[in-house]
Amino acid sequence: MLGRKHKLALIGMVAAIGLGAGLGGGLAQAADDGKNVIAYRQNVMKGIAAHITQIAMVAKGEVSFAGHVAANATAMANAAKIIPELFPKGTGEGEAGVPTEAKAEIWKDWDKFAAAAKNLEAQATKLAEVAGGGDVGAIGAQLGEVGKACGGCHEPFRTKKPE
């Protein structure tokens, strides 16, 4: 049997661990400063672009790696799932002190932005399914739909770099 003093000490310890865990969670979020989130999400986008480029090379017949298309498409679908998380408030153009092409419209029309990410996820998932058949023509057709899903978000929500 534990004495009263021991019981109290135990309760105190459990409470301290609980508090520590709660604080830890809060601190982890506060550490994500806007400019890092922007750098991170631009890398996610570059990753998506790398996958679609690899699939396009297969579709154009430049390489014969049709067996890799499903993995590339699944990677894009997974990236699409995290897109909304990568756009916290306060990370738009002119807000975080670093260049970004994220328009203010993203936060004004959040549901439409989230739907555009969902659409990329759906089209990329479908491409992974189509790729299983190994038909390069069918891969090319569904690749077109994935491309439209990129444009469907970039047009309303991304400013183009002046080049």
Kindly state whether residue 154 participates in binding ligand HEC, applying the rule CB under 6 A.
yes
Kindly state whether residue 52 participates in binding ligand HEC, applying the rule CB under 6 A.
yes
Find the shortest distance in angstroms from Cβ 34 to ligand HEC: 10
Fill in the amino acid letter for 63. Answer: V
Q: How far is residue 57's CA from residue 55's CA, in Å, rounded to a whole number? A: 5
Kindly state whether residue 58 participates in binding ligand HEC, applying the rule CB under 6 A.
no
Give CA 52 to chain center in angstroms. Answer: 15
Find the shortest distance in angstroms from Cβ 116 to ligand HEC: 4
In this structure, are residues 83 and 48 in contact, taking their beta carbons and an 8 Å threshold? Answer: no
In this structure, are residues 138 and 82 in contact, taking their beta carbons and an 8 Å threshold? Answer: no
Kindly state whether residue 66 participates in binding ligand HEC, applying the rule CB under 6 A.
no
Query: Which residues in the 74-133 window bind ligand HEC by CB under 6 A?
Result: 76, 83, 100-102, 113, 116-117, 120
If we measure between CA atoms, which residue out of 72, 81, 28 comes closest to residue 51? Answer: 72
Fill in the amino acid letter for 50. Answer: A
Q: Give me the residues that bind ligand HEC (CB under 6 A), please.
A: 38, 41-42, 45-46, 48-49, 52, 76, 83, 100-102, 113, 116-117, 120, 146, 149-150, 153-154, 157-158
